[in-house]
Chain A
C-alpha cells in the first residue's frame, strides 16, 4: 500500500519530519506563531487521516507483519530498513496519530515562547514514535527508540516548569541508561541468532536458557524504565510535573506504551522460557506498582503528580496482563494501553486547561468549578470515571479482561490487583470532589469555559471513551490474531518444562 507513491509506513514516519521543514522559514519571524500552530495542526491532522488507511488496508485475520518494506540500509552487519505492522502496532500507531493533533491544540495557549522550535520538536517526535512501532529491524528500532529522546528532552527542558532542567536530565539519563543495555542485547542476539537483525527471524528461534535469562534481564532494564515499573518509576512524576501539557500527554499516552510494546514484541516471543522464569518477579512488581502507585496518588496535592502516579498504577495493570500469558490477559493489557492513552491523555489535557487559566495545579487552589465551567466539568468527570474503570467506559474493558485473565492462574495476585481499582476510585473521586464540587476558591472564580481549540482536543476523546466502552469488539478484533499468535509463541518450550 502506498500513499502518493511512497510506501505508507515510510510516509507516516517521514511526513511529519519533512513537513516540519515548512515551519523553518517562520523560525525567527515575530508574529508568526499563529501560522505555525495552524501548520502543525494541519500536518498532524493529515497524518492522522492518512494513518486511518492502515485500518482499512489491514487484514485482521493474519498475524503476520503487513505493509512490509525491506531495504538494505547498511551493508556491514546486514542492517535493514525494514518496516511492518501487525494488529498490536496498528492500534498503537493510530493512538499516536490521534493524540498528536490534541497535543498541538493544547499548546495553542500553553506554549508562548519559541513556538516554531516546539512544533518542529513535536513533529519530529511523532515521526520517531511511529518509527518505533513500525520497525522490524532491531537496529532501526533502536535508532528510533533513542532518537525519540532528543526532542522529548528539549520539550521538557525548554518549555517545562521551574524545575525543568533537573527533570529533563533525569528523564534523559534514566531512559538512556536503560536503553543502552538493550543495545548490548541486540548485538548479542545478532551473533547468537544467526547474523541477522530481522525481528521476525530472531523471534522464530530457540535460545539457550542462560542466554535467555541474561537477555531478558537486560531488555527488562530498558522496558521497565520506560513503562515505568516499580522501582524504576521515579523519573516519571518529575518529568510529568515539569513538562508542558503536550509533553505530559505524549509521555503518558504514547511513550509509556513503548515499554509494554517492547515486552510484547521482543521479550515474550524471543525469550519465552525466561519470561516464564521471571513471571513471579514480574507479577510481584506489577502488583506493587498497582497498589503503591495508587497510594502515592492518594497523597498528592499536585494534580499532575496525582495523574502521574495513577499512570504507574495503571501501567502495573498492563504488565500484570502481559505476564499471565493468556489471550484475555494480553488483550486486556493492550486494551488498557490504548485506554490509558486516551483517558490519561485526556486528563492531562484537562489539567492543562485549568493550568492555562489559573497557572496552578494544586488541588487546594481549586473548588466548585462546576458552576464556572459546566461543560469542562462534565468532561473532566467523564474522563475521571473512565480512569477509575467505571463499567460502560473504555478502561473497564481492559481492566476487566486483565483481571479475568490473571484470576485463572494467579488468584491471589489478581485479588490484590483489584484493590488498585478501589484505590483509583478513591483518589479520582477525591480529586473531583475537591476541584469540581466543593467550595469556591479565589483562583477558580471567573474562569471561562472551554474555548474552541480545547473543544477540539477533548471532544474526540470523550466520544472514544464511550464508544470503546460500549462496543469494544471492533478494537479487540484488530489485534486478536496477533495476540493469539503471541500467546502460542510464549508457551514454554518442552525442553524447559523437563527441568
Chain B
C-alpha cells in the first residue's frame, strides 16, 4: 500500500468527514442539551467543507492506492449529490428530532459516517473496498433506523433491516469470493480484463455476478429483494427514511452501475434479462401495491420500489444515453423524495406525526403553501411535466428505446399511468376534501429552507435543467465514450 501524498489528497473529502464526524462525537458530551442543534450546524459545515474539497478534485480521474479507490468526475457527481442530500436531511432533522424527543448528538455523527460509507461505495475500485463502504453505510443506517428506542415499530424496523441487511451483505460477500476464486483479482478493472477473455465465463463467475447483483438489488430496494422496504421505511424516524430512500439509494445505484458496466460489460447478454426482470417486477410491485396503502410512508416506500425499477432500466445498456438518463433520474429523485418526506415529517396531528394519507385531507385550506409543495412533489414523482420527474422518466424511456427495448418502455409507461393514481390521490385529499382532523403544519426556518431547496430544484430540473445537464454530461465522459 502506497500512502503517497497524491493518494491521500485524493481521499481528503472522506478523511475530512471521518475526522470531523469523530470530533463531533467527542464534542457531544460537552454541548448542553438545548444547544444540540449546534452539532447539526457543525455537521452541515463539515459537509460543505468536504464538498469544496471534492469540487477541487473534479476532473482528475485518478485511480488511487493501486486502483483500490477511484476519484473521477463520475464519483464526484455522486458525492456532491450525497452531500446535498445529507445537508437537506440535516436541515429537516434539526426541528424534527427536537419534536420527537430523540435529539441525540450521535445522530449527526452516524449521518456523517453513513455519508462517508456512501462516498467510499461510489469511489470504490475494488470489491473489498466496496464492501467496506456498504457495511459502513449499513451499520450507521441500522442504528439510525432504531433511533426511537422506546417505540416498538422503530426497534422492529431496525432489527428487520439489520437481519435482512446482514443476509444481503453475506450473499454479496459470497459473490465477491466466487469472483475472486475464479479470476484471482477483486479490482473492478482486473475483473473487466478477466471477463473479456474468451472462456473466462465459468459458472463460478456467472454465479458470483448474480450474487453481487442480489446484493445491489437489496440496497436499491428493487423487487424481488424489496421485502424489507415498507416495514423499515414505515418504522424508521421519517428523516432517516428520507435519507435512506434518497441518498442511500443514489449511492447504491452509483456503485451498481460502476461494477456492472466496467467489470461485466463484456458479458452483457448474461445480465440484461436479469435487469429487465428486476425492472419489470419492481415497477409492477411498486406501482400496484402502492395503490392500496393508507400510510403515506408505506406508499412512498412502494413508490420508491417502483422508482428503483425505472432507474434500473438505465443500467441496461452501457451507453451515453443510459448513463445520462440514470444520473439525471437519480439527481431529480433525490430532491423530490426528500421533499415529499419533508412534508410528511413536518405535518403533525395532535402532536404526533401525521403519516396517514387521511391526515392530508384539506391541507390546502389550512396551509396552501404546504399543499402546493406537496402537489409539486407528487406530480413530479408521477412523472407529469413541467416538473423534473417528467424529464427524468423521459430520459429513462429514451435509454430503453435506444437500447432496443421499446416494449420495455411501453410497459414502464403503462405502469406509470397506474402509478399516477396513488400520487394524485394525495393531491385529491389535499385539495378536494374539507379538513376534518386537527392537523397542523408549522415549519420552522430550517425546514422552510429545505423545502424551498427541494421544491425549487424539482421545478428547475423540469423547466430549466440546462446547467445541470451540462454538469452531468461532463461527469459521464469518463465511463462511456
Q: Which residues of A contact B (CB under 8 A)?
A: 27-28, 73-77, 114, 117, 139, 142-144, 146-147, 149-150, 153-154, 157-158, 164-165, 168-169, 172-173, 176-177, 180-181, 183-184, 187-188, 190-191
Cβ of B410 and Cβ of A147 under 8 Å apart?
A: no
Tell me which of A77, A150, A169, A180 contacts B428 (CB under 8 A).
A169
A214's nearest neighbour on chain B, judged by CB, is B406
B402 / chain A contacts, CB cutoff of 8 Å: 191
Tell me which of B375, B384, B421, B472 contacts A149 (CB under 8 A).
B384
B328 / chain A contacts, CB cutoff of 8 Å: 76
Stretch at the interface among B248-256, B307-315, B337-345, B392-400: B392-400
Cβ of B390 and Cβ of A143 under 8 Å apart?
A: yes
Besides A150-B379, A150-B384, A190-B398, 12 other A-B contacts (C-beta < 8 A): A73-B466, A75-B469, A146-B384, A153-B424, A172-B424, A180-B413, A183-B397, A184-B401, A187-B397, A188-B401, A188-B406, A190-B401
Tell me which of A76, A149, A173 contacts B473 (CB under 8 A).
A76
B106 to chain A, nearest CB (A): 42
B406 / chain A contacts, CB cutoff of 8 Å: 184, 188
Q: Which of A147, A149, A172, A187 has the most CB of B within 10 A?
A: A187
B364 / chain A contacts, CB cutoff of 8 Å: 114, 117
Cβ of B274 under 8 Å from chain A: no
Cβ of A184 and Cβ of B421 under 8 Å apart?
A: no
A143 in contact with B469 given A157-B428, A177-B417, A183-B413 (CB within 8 Å): no
B470 / chain A contacts, CB cutoff of 8 Å: 75
Cβ of B420 under 8 Å from chain A: yes
- Give complex CA distance A153, B431 in Å: 11
Cβ of B466 and Cβ of A75 under 8 Å apart?
A: yes
B227 to chain A, nearest CB (A): 29
- Give complex CA distance A117, B375 in Å: 14
A187 / chain B contacts, CB cutoff of 8 Å: 394, 397-398, 401, 409
Cβ of B385 under 8 Å from chain A: yes
A-B contact pairs, 27 of them (CB 8 A): A74-B466, A75-B466, A75-B469, A76-B395, A76-B469, A77-B398, A143-B390, A144-B385, A146-B390, A147-B384, A147-B385, A147-B386, A150-B379, A153-B424, A153-B427, A157-B432, A164-B432, A165-B432, A165-B433, A172-B420, A176-B417, A180-B417, A181-B410, A184-B406, A184-B410, A188-B406, A191-B401
- Give complex CA distance A278, B151 in Å: 63
Tell me which of B321, B368, B413, B432 contacts A28 (CB under 8 A).
B368
A221 to chain B, nearest CB (A): 11
A146 in contact with B385 given A181-B413, A191-B401 (CB within 8 Å): yes
Cβ of B324 under 8 Å from chain A: yes
B368 / chain A contacts, CB cutoff of 8 Å: 27-28, 117
Cβ of B386 and Cβ of A143 under 8 Å apart?
A: yes
B420 / chain A contacts, CB cutoff of 8 Å: 172-173, 176
A176 / chain B contacts, CB cutoff of 8 Å: 384, 417, 420
A184 in contact with B394 given A27-B368, A146-B384 (CB within 8 Å): no
Cβ of B465 under 8 Å from chain A: yes
- Give complex CA distance A168, B375 in Å: 15
A165 / chain B contacts, CB cutoff of 8 Å: 428, 432-433
B384 / chain A contacts, CB cutoff of 8 Å: 146-147, 149-150, 176
Q: Which of B324, B406, B425 has the most CB of A within 10 A?
A: B406
- Give complex CA distance A422, B315 in Å: 59
Cβ of A180 and Cβ of B395 under 8 Å apart?
A: no
Cβ of A180 and Cβ of B473 under 8 Å apart?
A: no
- Give complex CA distance A183, B416 in Å: 12
A192's nearest neighbour on chain B, judged by CB, is B401
A173 in contact with B428 given A27-B368, A77-B395, A187-B398 (CB within 8 Å): no
B328's nearest neighbour on chain A, judged by CB, is A76
Q: Which of B390, B416, B428 has the most CB of A within 10 A?
A: B428
A142's nearest neighbour on chain B, judged by CB, is B385
B331-382 interface (Cβ within 8 A of A): 364, 368, 375, 379
Tell me which of B391, B397, B417, B421 contacts A169 (CB under 8 A).
B421
A75 in contact with B473 given A173-B417, A177-B417, A187-B397 (CB within 8 Å): yes
Q: Residue-by-residue, is B277-305 near A (CB-CB < 8 Å gives 1, otherwise 0)?
A: 00000000000000000000000000000
A184 in contact with B432 given A74-B391, A177-B414 (CB within 8 Å): no
- Give complex CA distance A76, B466 in Å: 9
B413 / chain A contacts, CB cutoff of 8 Å: 180-181, 183-184
A160 to chain B, nearest CB (A): 8
Cβ of B469 and Cβ of A74 under 8 Å apart?
A: yes
A27 / chain B contacts, CB cutoff of 8 Å: 368
Cβ of B395 and Cβ of A168 under 8 Å apart?
A: no
The 9 closest A-B pairs by CB, nearest first: A143-B385, A180-B413, A177-B417, A157-B432, A187-B401, A146-B385, A147-B385, A187-B398, A147-B386
A150 / chain B contacts, CB cutoff of 8 Å: 375, 379, 384
B476 to chain A, nearest CB (A): 10
A158 in contact with B385 given A177-B417, A183-B413 (CB within 8 Å): no
B385 / chain A contacts, CB cutoff of 8 Å: 142-144, 146-147
- Give complex CA distance A400, B420 in Å: 42
A153 / chain B contacts, CB cutoff of 8 Å: 424, 427
A131's nearest neighbour on chain B, judged by CB, is B386
A143 / chain B contacts, CB cutoff of 8 Å: 385-386, 390
Q: Which of B321, B410, B473 has the most CB of A within 10 A?
A: B410
A149 / chain B contacts, CB cutoff of 8 Å: 384
Tell me which of A74, A144, A146, A158 contacts B465 (CB under 8 A).
A74
- Give complex CA distance A437, B362 in Å: 44
A188 / chain B contacts, CB cutoff of 8 Å: 401, 406
A117 / chain B contacts, CB cutoff of 8 Å: 364, 368
A72's nearest neighbour on chain B, judged by CB, is B466
- Give complex CA distance A147, B382 in Å: 12
B433 / chain A contacts, CB cutoff of 8 Å: 165
- Give complex CA distance A153, B424 in Å: 9
B466 / chain A contacts, CB cutoff of 8 Å: 73-75
Cβ of A158 and Cβ of B469 under 8 Å apart?
A: no
B425's nearest neighbour on chain A, judged by CB, is A169
B431-479 interface (Cβ within 8 A of A): 431-433, 465-466, 469-470, 472-473
B398's nearest neighbour on chain A, judged by CB, is A187
- Give complex CA distance A27, B367 in Å: 11
A154 / chain B contacts, CB cutoff of 8 Å: 427, 431
Q: Which of B385, B420, B473 has the most CB of A within 10 A?
A: B385
B398 / chain A contacts, CB cutoff of 8 Å: 77, 187, 190
- Give complex CA distance A95, B356 in Å: 44
A172 / chain B contacts, CB cutoff of 8 Å: 420, 424
